[in-house]
Amino acid sequence: MNVIRCDRSHSQQILAIFNDAILNSTALYDYKPRTETMMTAWFDTKERGNFPVVGLVDENATLLGFASYGTFRAWPAYKYTVEHSVYVAAAFRGRGLGKVLLGEIIAAAREQQYHVLVGGIDSQNAASIGLHKAFGFEHAGSLSQVGYKFGRWLDLDWYQLILETPSQPDEG
């Protein structure tokens, strides 16, 4: 297993992981599968913002999972905060891959001098909540019944990790 920086050549594999999560879980509060056009726009946004897309591949170059982050809120004072996500392909869950991916994304955020990582997690996703707590993320609040999927209301929990970076924040 190797850690890589994903690029557009991984688009189809990322799309498959996204769409499985959309169709079979509450990890994403989407209803319909994403398209290739949506993936092009997704990569455009990642490239414009210099946001990493970290992946794990096996010896056959199969993408096992990926993680990334992006803009939390688009106002200047939030420039040191990013919202992240971690996705592992269904066949590879429960093997510790999420730990590797989350560790990589935290390291990237430090390197890019971000201060806070924020994650919105479905309140019933015990595995993701446990993963985040293991890295020191703290529960920062809950929003009740903000999503509706699979015939039920969904609660969203917010978790955050405060980093020691940036070394010299500014308002510029």
What CATH number is attached to the domain comprising 6? 3.40.630.30
The reply to whether 86 falls in a domain is yes
The reply to whether 141 falls in a domain is yes
Summary mean pLDDT of the chain: 96
The reply to whether 10 falls in a domain is yes
Q: List pLDDT tens digits, range 24-75.
A: 999 999 999 999 999 999 999 999 999 999 999 999 999 999 999 999 999 9
Q: Does the pLDDT of residue 172 top 90, yes or no?
A: no
The reply to whether 170 falls in a domain is no
Identify the band that residue 160 occupies on the pLDDT scale cut at 50, 70 and 90. Answer: very high
The boundaries of the domain holding residue 107 are 2-162
**Contact predicate 56/101, CB 8 Å:** yes
The fraction of the chain above a pLDDT of 90, given in percent, is 98
The reply to whether 172 falls in a domain is no
What is the total count of domains within the chain? 1
The reply to whether 12 falls in a domain is yes
Identify the band that residue 10 occupies on the pLDDT scale cut at 50, 70 and 90. Answer: very high
Q: Does the pLDDT of residue 140 top 90, yes or no?
A: yes
Q: At what angle are helices 97-111 and 126-134 packed, to 10 degrees?
A: 50
The reply to whether 169 falls in a domain is no
The reply to whether 28 falls in a domain is yes
